[in-house]
């Protein structure tokens, strides 16, 4: 009997998360745990996905709440145990927010905080919660990041303060995991400028009709980086969907 590989993808009900889930479920003997924001989040698109032989989809709510962090963590772990999920091979930290694309002086501080909570704190929260299930020493923690979070490659005067700061913070977390956990392959991946809701929000902010990349192109590239990542190659790095290295 073939062994099953288990992925957990945060924010899997739309955009890149949904695209990754769709493609992975077409691989045989693959379990995908798809997290959604709450029990009221629509799961229609997820439930309509086809499966390969031996594959299955598990949908679970998972949110960030600093005030009841331990309760949320216990509930998630108990739910996974109920589905006999005792190991996660690949943790894809995909859930995020990209709704404020404004210059520095026009960016409200509450917007910075909201993006930081979604794009920086939530990936940390997910990693801390799910670490006991990671398949050490060969587990992978993959952050779906953005080139807009690169300080070295800052996009000139692009209005990205809230989003960029939050992604830069998440990138730091990924590199820190690489050095602190020898058994975890930790990589930040830029998925490209994709035709998603977040991608379109940025396009609107700079007067571009639409992002240049299709979801399918992005998913193919991102999965190539996930599949090929090892501790000796791209762990601790920030890479693009095409494999090129992006400076922090």
Residue from 149, 170, 173 nearest 160 by CA: 149
Q: Tell me how far apart the alpha carbons of residues 245 and 143 are, in angstroms, rounded to a whole number.
A: 14
Three-state secondary structure readout of 48-114: CCCCCCCCEEEEEECCCCHHHHHHHHHHHHHHHHHCCCCCECEEEECCCCCCCCCCHHHCCHHHHHH
Cα 82 from chain centroid? 24
Count how many residues are written for the chain.
248
Is-catalytic flag, 163?
Answer: yes
Using an 8 Å Cβ cutoff, are 228 and 185 in contact?
no
Q: Tell me how far apart the alpha carbons of residues 147 and 137 are, in angstroms, rounded to a whole number.
A: 29
Q: Determine which one of 7, 167, 195, 237 is catalytic.
A: 167
Q: Determine which one of 7, 74, 131, 163 is catalytic.
A: 163
Is-catalytic flag, 167?
Answer: yes
Structure tokens at 92: 């894809």
Burial class (CB in 10 A: 0-12, 13-18, 19+), 109: exposed
Using an 8 Å Cβ cutoff, are 35 and 7 in contact?
no
Name the residues annotated as catalytic. Answer: 163, 167
């Amino acid at each position: 009997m073939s062994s099953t590989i288990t992925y957990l993808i945060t924010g899997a009900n739309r955009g890149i998360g949904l695209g990754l889930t769709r493609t992975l479920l077409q691989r045989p003997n693959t379990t995908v745990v798809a997290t959604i924001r709450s029990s009221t989040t629509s799961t229609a698109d997820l439930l309509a996905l086809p499966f390969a032989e031996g594959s299955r989809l598990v949908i679970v709510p998972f949110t960030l709440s600093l005030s009841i962090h331990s309760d949320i963590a216990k509930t998630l772990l108990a739910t996974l145990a109920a589905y006999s999920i005792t190991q996660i091979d690949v943790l894809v930290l995909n859930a995020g927010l990209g709704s404020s694309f404004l210059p520095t002086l026009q960016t409200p501080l509450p917007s910075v905080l909201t993006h930081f909570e979604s794009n920086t704190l939530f990936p940390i929260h997910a990693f801390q919660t799910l670490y006991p299930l990671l398949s050490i020493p060969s587990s992978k923690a993959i952050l779906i990041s953005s080139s807009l979070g690169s300080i070295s490659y800052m996009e000139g005067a692009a209005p990205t303060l809230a989003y960029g700061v939050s992604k830069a913070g998440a990138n730091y977390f990924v590199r820190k995991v690489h050095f602190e956990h020898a058994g975890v392959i930790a990589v930040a991946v830029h998925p490209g400028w994709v035709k998603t809701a977040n991608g379109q929000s940025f396009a609107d902010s700079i007067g571009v009709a639409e992002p240049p990349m299709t979801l399918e192109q992005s998913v193919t590239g991102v999965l190539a980086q996930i599949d090929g990542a090892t501790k000796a190659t791209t762990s601790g790095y920030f890479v693009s969907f095409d494999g090129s290295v992006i400076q922090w």
